[in-house]
Amino acid sequence: DVGLTFVRGMEPSERAASLLVKLRAFMSDHVYPAEPILEAHAASDRRWEVHPKVEELKALAKAAGLWNLWLPRDSGRLLKIAPRPGEDESEADAWMRGPGLTNLEYAHLAGCMGASVWASEFFNCSAPDTGNMEVLLRYGTKEQQERWLRPLLLGTIRSCFAMTEPAVASSDATNVTSSIVRRGDSYVINGRKWWTSGACDPRCELAIFMGKTTPDGTPGVPKHRQQTMVLVPMRTKGVTVVRPLPVFGYDDAPHGHAETTFEDVV
Protein backbone atom coordinates (compact mmCIF):
# COMPACT_ATOMS: atom_id res chain seq x y z
CA ASP A 1 0.00 0.00 0.00
CA VAL A 2 1.63 3.25 -1.14
CA GLY A 3 -0.94 5.38 0.68
CA LEU A 4 -2.10 7.30 -2.40
CA THR A 5 -5.23 7.41 -4.56
CA PHE A 6 -4.80 6.98 -8.33
CA VAL A 7 -7.01 7.50 -11.36
CA ARG A 8 -8.45 4.19 -12.49
CA GLY A 9 -6.22 2.70 -15.15
CA MET A 10 -3.27 4.79 -13.98
CA GLU A 11 -2.42 2.79 -10.89
CA PRO A 12 1.24 1.82 -10.43
CA SER A 13 2.20 -1.71 -11.31
CA GLU A 14 3.37 -4.00 -8.53
CA ARG A 15 6.97 -3.24 -9.48
CA ALA A 16 6.44 0.53 -9.57
CA ALA A 17 4.48 0.45 -6.31
CA SER A 18 7.34 -1.36 -4.57
CA LEU A 19 9.84 1.24 -5.80
CA LEU A 20 7.47 4.04 -4.85
CA VAL A 21 7.34 2.83 -1.26
CA LYS A 22 11.14 2.79 -1.10
CA LEU A 23 11.36 6.16 -2.80
CA ARG A 24 8.88 7.85 -0.47
CA ALA A 25 10.79 6.49 2.53
CA PHE A 26 14.07 7.80 1.09
CA MET A 27 12.52 11.21 0.50
CA SER A 28 11.31 11.36 4.11
CA ASP A 29 14.48 9.98 5.67
CA HIS A 30 17.10 11.78 3.58
CA VAL A 31 15.86 14.30 1.02
CA TYR A 32 13.52 16.50 3.03
CA PRO A 33 15.95 16.75 5.99
CA ALA A 34 18.70 17.84 3.55
CA GLU A 35 16.65 20.68 2.06
CA PRO A 36 17.54 23.34 4.69
CA ILE A 37 21.25 22.54 4.23
CA LEU A 38 21.04 22.84 0.46
CA GLU A 39 18.83 25.95 0.61
CA ALA A 40 21.37 27.68 2.83
CA HIS A 41 24.19 26.64 0.49
CA ALA A 42 22.27 27.96 -2.53
CA ALA A 43 22.06 31.38 -0.84
CA SER A 44 25.75 31.48 0.07
CA ASP A 45 28.75 32.83 -1.83
CA ARG A 46 29.85 29.21 -2.41
CA ARG A 47 26.67 28.21 -4.24
CA TRP A 48 28.53 27.45 -7.49
CA GLU A 49 30.30 24.61 -5.71
CA VAL A 50 28.59 21.25 -5.32
CA HIS A 51 27.68 20.68 -1.68
CA PRO A 52 29.05 17.39 -0.29
CA LYS A 53 25.52 16.43 0.78
CA VAL A 54 24.60 15.95 -2.89
CA GLU A 55 27.21 13.26 -3.50
CA GLU A 56 26.43 11.71 -0.13
CA LEU A 57 22.76 11.27 -1.03
CA LYS A 58 23.64 9.98 -4.52
CA ALA A 59 25.71 7.22 -2.91
CA LEU A 60 22.84 6.36 -0.55
CA ALA A 61 20.36 6.23 -3.43
CA LYS A 62 22.63 3.87 -5.36
CA ALA A 63 22.93 1.61 -2.33
CA ALA A 64 19.14 1.65 -1.91
CA GLY A 65 18.55 0.52 -5.51
CA LEU A 66 16.99 3.87 -6.45
CA TRP A 67 19.32 4.78 -9.29
CA ASN A 68 18.65 5.63 -12.96
CA LEU A 69 14.95 5.08 -12.42
CA TRP A 70 14.27 6.95 -15.68
CA LEU A 71 16.03 4.44 -17.96
CA PRO A 72 13.52 3.19 -20.55
CA ARG A 73 12.35 -0.37 -20.71
CA ASP A 74 14.40 -1.18 -23.82
CA SER A 75 17.68 0.19 -22.45
CA GLY A 76 19.16 -3.26 -21.92
CA ARG A 77 19.31 -4.07 -25.64
CA LEU A 78 20.56 -0.57 -26.52
CA LEU A 79 23.51 -0.50 -24.14
CA LYS A 80 26.74 -1.35 -25.96
CA ILE A 81 28.99 -1.24 -22.88
CA ALA A 82 29.44 -3.57 -19.93
CA PRO A 83 30.95 -3.41 -16.44
CA ARG A 84 34.72 -3.09 -16.48
CA PRO A 85 37.11 -5.71 -15.10
CA GLY A 86 37.31 -5.33 -11.35
CA GLU A 87 33.86 -3.77 -11.01
CA ASP A 88 31.14 -5.65 -9.18
CA GLU A 89 29.34 -6.94 -12.26
CA SER A 90 25.83 -7.26 -10.85
CA GLU A 91 26.05 -3.93 -9.03
CA ALA A 92 27.46 -1.96 -11.97
CA ASP A 93 25.02 -3.62 -14.36
CA ALA A 94 22.09 -2.60 -12.16
CA TRP A 95 23.34 1.00 -11.99
CA MET A 96 23.74 1.21 -15.76
CA ARG A 97 20.48 -0.48 -16.74
CA GLY A 98 18.04 0.77 -14.10
CA PRO A 99 14.78 -1.03 -13.25
CA GLY A 100 13.47 -1.01 -16.83
CA LEU A 101 10.18 0.78 -16.22
CA THR A 102 7.52 1.90 -18.68
CA ASN A 103 6.74 5.62 -18.97
CA LEU A 104 3.63 5.19 -16.83
CA GLU A 105 5.54 3.29 -14.15
CA TYR A 106 8.25 5.94 -14.06
CA ALA A 107 5.68 8.76 -13.95
CA HIS A 108 4.67 7.70 -10.44
CA LEU A 109 8.29 7.94 -9.27
CA ALA A 110 8.90 11.23 -11.08
CA GLY A 111 5.88 12.72 -9.33
CA CYS A 112 7.31 11.71 -5.97
CA MET A 113 10.75 13.14 -6.77
CA GLY A 114 9.11 16.34 -7.96
CA ALA A 115 8.11 17.17 -4.39
CA SER A 116 11.65 18.49 -3.84
CA VAL A 117 13.59 20.72 -6.23
CA TRP A 118 16.78 18.89 -5.26
CA ALA A 119 15.61 15.30 -5.40
CA SER A 120 15.95 14.15 -9.00
CA GLU A 121 19.73 14.56 -9.03
CA PHE A 122 20.13 12.25 -6.04
CA PHE A 123 18.64 9.41 -8.13
CA ASN A 124 20.45 10.40 -11.37
CA CYS A 125 17.11 11.37 -12.88
CA SER A 126 17.58 15.08 -13.60
CA ALA A 127 17.58 17.06 -16.81
CA PRO A 128 19.33 17.61 -19.10
CA ASP A 129 21.33 14.49 -18.28
CA THR A 130 18.42 12.09 -18.74
CA GLY A 131 17.71 13.36 -22.27
CA ASN A 132 21.38 13.45 -23.17
CA MET A 133 21.88 9.94 -21.84
CA GLU A 134 18.97 8.64 -23.89
CA VAL A 135 20.44 10.22 -27.04
CA LEU A 136 23.73 8.43 -26.32
CA LEU A 137 21.91 5.23 -25.43
CA ARG A 138 19.89 5.14 -28.66
CA TYR A 139 22.31 6.65 -31.15
CA GLY A 140 25.80 6.61 -29.62
CA THR A 141 28.55 4.34 -30.84
CA LYS A 142 30.24 1.94 -28.44
CA GLU A 143 33.14 4.37 -28.11
CA GLN A 144 30.81 7.31 -27.40
CA GLN A 145 28.90 5.29 -24.85
CA GLU A 146 32.13 4.23 -23.16
CA ARG A 147 33.51 7.77 -22.98
CA TRP A 148 30.34 9.69 -22.13
CA LEU A 149 27.38 7.47 -21.31
CA ARG A 150 29.18 5.32 -18.76
CA PRO A 151 30.20 8.21 -16.43
CA LEU A 152 26.81 9.86 -16.89
CA LEU A 153 24.99 6.65 -15.92
CA LEU A 154 27.29 6.25 -12.93
CA GLY A 155 26.78 9.90 -11.94
CA THR A 156 30.43 10.89 -11.96
CA ILE A 157 30.00 13.69 -14.54
CA ARG A 158 27.17 15.92 -15.77
CA SER A 159 26.26 17.36 -19.17
CA CYS A 160 24.43 20.20 -20.91
CA PHE A 161 22.38 20.74 -24.06
CA ALA A 162 23.28 23.71 -26.26
CA MET A 163 20.38 24.56 -28.56
CA THR A 164 18.73 27.89 -27.72
CA GLU A 165 20.19 31.05 -29.28
CA PRO A 166 19.58 34.68 -28.27
CA ALA A 167 18.83 36.03 -31.74
CA VAL A 168 16.20 33.56 -32.96
CA ALA A 169 13.13 31.65 -31.77
CA SER A 170 15.09 28.49 -31.12
CA SER A 171 12.20 26.28 -30.02
CA ASP A 172 11.83 25.83 -33.78
CA ALA A 173 15.19 24.25 -34.59
CA THR A 174 14.99 25.34 -38.22
CA ASN A 175 15.78 28.85 -36.96
CA VAL A 176 19.13 28.09 -35.32
CA THR A 177 22.08 29.85 -36.90
CA SER A 178 25.04 28.07 -35.30
CA SER A 179 27.22 26.36 -37.88
CA ILE A 180 28.85 22.95 -38.12
CA VAL A 181 31.31 22.92 -41.03
CA ARG A 182 33.20 19.87 -42.27
CA ARG A 183 36.96 20.39 -42.47
CA GLY A 184 38.82 17.24 -43.47
CA ASP A 185 38.09 14.58 -40.88
CA SER A 186 36.83 17.14 -38.33
CA TYR A 187 34.03 19.63 -37.88
CA VAL A 188 34.43 23.29 -36.98
CA ILE A 189 31.69 24.65 -34.73
CA ASN A 190 30.68 28.27 -34.26
CA GLY A 191 27.70 29.70 -32.40
CA ARG A 192 26.37 31.66 -29.45
CA LYS A 193 23.95 29.83 -27.18
CA TRP A 194 22.07 30.69 -24.02
CA TRP A 195 19.87 28.93 -21.49
CA THR A 196 22.38 26.10 -21.78
CA SER A 197 21.16 24.31 -18.68
CA GLY A 198 23.90 22.59 -16.71
CA ALA A 199 26.86 24.32 -18.33
CA CYS A 200 27.82 26.13 -15.11
CA ASP A 201 28.12 22.93 -13.10
CA PRO A 202 31.79 22.20 -12.29
CA ARG A 203 31.09 18.53 -13.08
CA CYS A 204 29.78 19.32 -16.59
CA GLU A 205 32.07 17.58 -19.10
CA LEU A 206 29.93 17.27 -22.22
CA ALA A 207 27.71 19.48 -24.35
CA ILE A 208 25.37 18.19 -27.01
CA PHE A 209 25.47 21.04 -29.50
CA MET A 210 22.80 21.69 -32.13
CA GLY A 211 23.74 23.53 -35.32
CA LYS A 212 23.36 23.53 -39.07
CA THR A 213 25.60 21.48 -41.33
CA THR A 214 23.84 22.89 -44.41
CA PRO A 215 23.41 26.67 -44.82
CA ASP A 216 20.02 28.22 -45.50
CA GLY A 217 19.11 28.33 -49.17
CA THR A 218 21.11 25.25 -50.15
CA PRO A 219 19.33 23.79 -53.21
CA GLY A 220 17.64 20.46 -52.67
CA VAL A 221 17.99 20.46 -48.87
CA PRO A 222 14.68 20.78 -46.96
CA LYS A 223 14.86 23.10 -43.95
CA HIS A 224 14.18 20.24 -41.54
CA ARG A 225 17.26 18.36 -42.78
CA GLN A 226 19.83 21.11 -42.21
CA GLN A 227 20.50 20.39 -38.54
CA THR A 228 22.56 17.91 -36.60
CA MET A 229 23.91 17.46 -33.09
CA VAL A 230 27.57 17.09 -32.16
CA LEU A 231 29.19 15.89 -28.94
CA VAL A 232 31.52 18.61 -27.67
CA PRO A 233 33.80 18.11 -24.64
CA MET A 234 33.38 21.19 -22.45
CA ARG A 235 37.16 21.52 -21.97
CA THR A 236 37.71 21.98 -25.71
CA LYS A 237 39.49 25.16 -26.81
CA GLY A 238 36.96 27.75 -27.95
CA VAL A 239 34.16 26.71 -25.59
CA THR A 240 33.39 29.52 -23.13
CA VAL A 241 30.79 29.67 -20.39
CA VAL A 242 30.11 33.41 -20.42
CA ARG A 243 27.66 33.83 -17.55
CA PRO A 244 24.73 32.25 -15.73
CA LEU A 245 21.29 33.61 -16.63
CA PRO A 246 18.63 34.05 -13.95
CA VAL A 247 15.18 32.51 -14.33
CA PHE A 248 12.55 34.50 -12.43
CA GLY A 249 15.36 35.80 -10.24
CA TYR A 250 16.94 32.40 -9.53
CA ASP A 251 20.30 31.32 -10.92
CA ASP A 252 19.80 27.63 -10.03
CA ALA A 253 23.40 27.28 -8.87
CA PRO A 254 25.49 25.21 -9.20
CA HIS A 255 23.61 23.82 -12.21
CA GLY A 256 22.83 27.14 -13.87
CA HIS A 257 21.47 28.17 -17.26
CA ALA A 258 24.41 29.66 -19.11
CA GLU A 259 25.22 31.85 -22.03
CA THR A 260 27.90 29.90 -23.87
CA THR A 261 29.99 30.62 -26.94
CA PHE A 262 31.60 28.19 -29.34
CA GLU A 263 34.33 29.86 -31.40
CA ASP A 264 36.15 27.79 -34.01
CA VAL A 265 35.74 24.68 -31.89
CA VAL A 266 37.27 21.67 -33.65
Span 203-223, mean pLDDT? 94
- pLDDT category at 144 given cuts 50, 70, 90 is very high
Element (H, E) at 232: strand 227-233
Secondary structure string (H, E, C) spanning 29-60: HHHHHHHHHHHHHHCCCCCCCCCHHHHHHHHH
What's phi and psi for 248, nearest 5 deg?
Answer: 50, 40
Is 44's pLDDT higher than 90?
yes
pTM over 0.85: yes
The overall average pLDDT reported for the chain is 93
Span 69-127, pLDDT tens digits? 999 888 888 999 988 887 777 777 777 788 989 999 999 999 999 999 999 999 999 99
Q: Is the pLDDT of residue 4 over 70?
A: no
Question: Is the predicted pLDDT of residue 1 greater than 50, yes or no?
Answer: no
- Region 20-45: mean pLDDT is 97
Q: What region, left, alpha or beta, does residue 188 occupy, with left being phi > 0 and alpha being psi -120 to 50 degrees?
A: beta
CA distance 194 to 192: 7
What share of the chain has pLDDT > 70, as a percent? Answer: 97
d(Cα 18, Cα 243) in Å, to the nearest integer? 43
